[in-house]
């Protein structure tokens, strides 16, 4: 898609974002550490392996059931590091604040970040605060970057998925995105929803301790499970088969999606992970994940195949089959 | 200063910023790595010493003589790491872009970042792009975070300045701030000014190679030389004496400051450093700095004293003496 302007779609995490990154950003910054395009960069330094990741948070509204922009910013970067198989250690935080923003709200966000950092076991070690004039930013944006260490024996990457791998999903999909959307639009559901924002690093630590050979880990944030699985299929040159009936989803989320005409497979999660593992490891790993508070609704939702490389195909609940493409447009701007 | 709203002053880098950080942010995030409040965090990891730093860039205008928001974002974080005595290695980049931003301008900024990264010898290894609706941000904001390694023998910190130290400044002051201001206000000067944005890491490497005992390094960005020296005085519990006549300043910058009623000591620099060293090392170090392209106008501009701890005092050019306080208000929002 050619355009001379940046569009909301360019920030969707979907197809148009990928086009922007691969056609515009990568050719400028190209280097072997950036090229794999995992959730963070992994590199050797002084004989040890490290992971380094960054994300800016522009979610609207900044406070929502289950969290706020502060906890989201901490958990998001913790999770990006965890998806590299790293133990997250240190975070930086950069605030861009609109003049006139409430000091009390800022305090609430700071407290929430510190609470989230404690829960994840990371330290916020360096920071920066910029203030811009009214209308030059919308309330508050937060960047967090993070540093973690990766054990020598861990080799987790989107490109490592291989035919036969089982695909594990750690719980219900689309909770975060649908929560933000209903808050923003002022929709009232019968059973109120909560964002799933959570730190997944302890879960990942339990997983890597139990299974020394996890091939791929990825958290399906912007663009949802569908987009993340498409990324894995492209990176690894494999096909992916999904079983619709196996995908955990809350009834109220399914209902909200039907009402709004949204496909929950494309809706952002902020406390879920996808893992690709050999079939012989899958059942054991599923047990481990289910034993963790953030994985109790985990399920095997599909498998990696040798045919249709780069494509995700879903066996539907009614026995049909359909291609699940990468997110194309931007159904939900400023979801994270 | 008590207020229930965030003000532009809170982002000035001056007194009110310090108050916000020390009264609000530090109590939440307090930990021994964050506490020293140097330009970056320095910590031991796996037996090696690292530096980690972050900065968001919101400069307006985004293109200016001598650079743009992209080169500024790379050089700024490279310099923050260098001021910790680190060799900067890897940067992350987080873009927040306003919907409708020109794709061509984005390309120019990417190219400028890559050019700056090459010049500094660092790699941009991980990134994130968010797009927000029109009027939810002003054109483009960039966060860069950086990771560097610190040699074992280097112990550079604002708290290490000690009485008797000579204060070295690497060149002309206030070029960046006055350039941005004149651009923004559409002022035309007889001799056009340029931002001094530059990577100082190679200069610092030459300095630490020549002098194993540099006590303090700091780049006087927001708040200028006056604010940075006040920070050093407070951190180290020393006094600082400045010689006004020794401070390098271009005639056209001095003229612009007089015209605009601004004190150049409070104006931001983006390619200058201040160093505190023992008197026996000062002359040799000055030679080393002057031999570098970014230090050819370096000078000794003052000394660290035992009396008046926490205070900066200037011997004026006309023989008087005056207290040089930390920046109080915000003369120039969005300078970096």
Q: Looking at residues A153-180, what average pLDDT do you find?
A: 97
Q: How far is B253 from chain A (nearest CA, A)?
A: 25
Mutation site for A-interface testing, chosen from B20, B111, B137, B143 by largest number of A Cβ within 10 Å: B143
Question: Using an 8 Å Cβ cutoff, are B153 and B213 in contact?
Answer: no
d(CA B144, CA A128): 11
Q: What is the pLDDT of residue B188?
A: 82
> Residue B281 forms beta bridges with which residues?
none
pLDDT digits (tens, 9 = 90+) for A104-137: 999 999 999 999 999 999 999 999 999 999 999 9
What's the pLDDT tens digit per position in B282-331? 999 999 999 999 999 999 999 999 999 999 999 999 999 999 999 887 76
Give the pLDDT of residue B290: 98
Inter-chain CB proximity B8 and A45 less than 8 Å:
no
Sheet holding B274-277, edge to edge: B216-218, B274-277, B166-169, B299-305, B239-243, B312-315, B321-323
What is the DSSP-derived secondary structure letter of residue A182?
H
CB B302, CB B246: distance < 8 Å: yes
- Residue pLDDT, tens place only, A4-25: 999 999 998 889 999 999 999 9
A47-51, A270-274, B140-144, B194-198: which has the minimum mean pLDDT?
A: A47-51
Is the pLDDT assigned to residue B226 strictly greater than 90? yes
Chain B nearest-CA distance from A41, in A, is 6
Would you give the end-to-end CA distance of chain B in angstroms? 24
Contact B103 A5 (CB under 8 A): yes
Rounded Cα distance, A191 and A273, in Å: 24
Handedness of CA A91, A221, A10, A37 (dihedral sign): positive
- β-pairing, A123-132 with A86-98? parallel
- Nearest-Cα residue of chain B relative to residue A125: B34
* B52/A90 CB distance under 8 A: yes
Q: How far apart are CA B285 and CA B66, in angstroms?
A: 27
Report residue B62 CA to chain centroid gap.
18
Instruction: Give whole-number Cα distances, B313 to B167, B321, B322, B325, in Å.
Output: 13, 7, 6, 8
Q: Quick one: pLDDT at residue A286?
A: 98
A317 to chain B nearest CA, in Å? Answer: 35
CA-CA distance, B262 to B224, in Å (whole number)? 12
The span from the CA of B143 to the CA of A96, in Å, is 10
- What ipTM does the predicted assembly reach? 0.96
pLDDT tops 60 at residue A264: yes
For B186-197, what is the HEC assignment?
A: CCCCCCCCCCCC
Residue with the two structure tokens 């009232």:
A188
**CA B35, CA B241: separation in Å to the nearest integer?**
26
Q: List, for residues B244-261, the tens digit of each pLDDT value.
A: 999 999 999 999 999 889
**Most B CBs within 10 Å: which of A125, A134, A330, as the mutation test of the B interface?**
A125
Kindly list the residues from chain B whose CB atom is less than 8 angstroms away from the CB atom of residue A124: 29, 31, 34
**pLDDT bucket at A30, cuts 50 / 70 / 90:** confident
Tell if the CB–CB gap between A106 and B6 is shorter than 8 Å: yes
- Of B206, B175, B201, B219, the C-alpha closest to B291 is B206
Is the Cβ–Cβ distance between B293 and B214 less than 8 Å? no
- pLDDT averaged over chain A? 95
Which pLDDT does position A215 carry in this prediction? 98
Count, in order, helices (H) and strands (E) of chain A.
9, 14
pLDDT tens, position by position, B12-39 = 888 999 999 999 999 999 899 988 877 8
Q: If we measure between CA atoms, which residue out of A133, A149, A59 comes closest to residue A101?
A: A133
Q: What is the pLDDT of residue A1?
A: 57
Of all residues in chain A, the one with the smallest CA distance to B151 is: A46
> Which uninterrupted H or E stretch holds B182?
helix B175-185
Asked if residue A61 has a cis previous peptide bond (ω within 30° of 0), the answer is: yes
- Phi-psi category of residue A27: left, alpha or beta, with phi > 0 → left and psi -120 to 50 → alpha: alpha
Which CATH code of 2.50.20.10, 3.90.650.10, 2.60.120.260, 3.40.50.1220 fits the domain covering A158-323?
3.90.650.10
Rounded to a whole number, what is the distance in Å from the CA of B104 to chain A's nearest CA? 7
Q: What are phi and psi of B254, to 5 degrees?
A: -60, -45
Residue ranges per structural domain of chain B? 8-150, 158-323
3-state secondary structure of A244: helix
CATH 3.30.1330.10 fits domain A8-150: yes
pLDDT given for residue B1 in this prediction: 57
């Amino acid at each position: 898609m050619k355009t001379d302007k940046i569009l909301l779609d360019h920030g969707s995490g979907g197809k148009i974002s990928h086009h922007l990154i691969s056609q515009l950003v990568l050719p400028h910054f190209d280097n072997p550490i950036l090229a794999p395009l995992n959730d963070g960069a992994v590199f050797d330094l002084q004989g040890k392996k490290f992971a380094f990741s960054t994300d800016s948070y522009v979610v609207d509204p900044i406070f929502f059931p289950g969290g706020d922009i502060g906890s989201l910013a901490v958990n998001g970067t913790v999770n990006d590091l965890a998806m590299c198989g790293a133990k997250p250690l240190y975070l930086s935080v950069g605030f861009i604040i609109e003049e006139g923003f409430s000091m009390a709200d800022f305090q609430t966000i700071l407290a929430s970040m510190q609470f989230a950092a404690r829960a994840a076991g990371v330290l916020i070690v360096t920071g920066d605060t910029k203030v811009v004039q009214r209308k030059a930013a919308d309330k508050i944006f937060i960047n967090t970057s993070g540093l973690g260490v990766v054990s020598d024996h861990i080799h987790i990457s989107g490109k490592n998925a291989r035919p036969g791998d089982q695909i594990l999903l750690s719980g219900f999909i689309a909770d975060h995105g649908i929560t933000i959307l209903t808050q923003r639009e002022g929709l009232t559901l019968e059973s109120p929803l909560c964002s799933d924002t959570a730190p997944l690093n302890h879960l990942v630590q339990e997983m890597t301790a139990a299974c020394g050979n996890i091939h791929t880990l990825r958290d399906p944030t912007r663009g949802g499970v569908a987009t993340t699985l498409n990324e894995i299929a492209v990176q690894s040159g494999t096909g992916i088969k999904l079983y619709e009936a196996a995908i955990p989803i809350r009834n109220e989320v399914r209902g909200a999606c039907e009402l709004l005409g949204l496909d929950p497979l494309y809706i952002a999660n902020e406390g879920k992970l996808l893992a690709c593992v050999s079939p012989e490891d899958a059942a054991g790993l599923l047990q481990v994940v289910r034993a963790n508070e953030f994985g109790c609704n985990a399920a095997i939702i599909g498998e990696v195949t040798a045919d249709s490389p780069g494509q995700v195909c879903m066996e539907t609940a009614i026995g049909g089959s359909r291609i699940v493409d990468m997110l194309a447009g931007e159904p939900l701007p400023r979801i994270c």
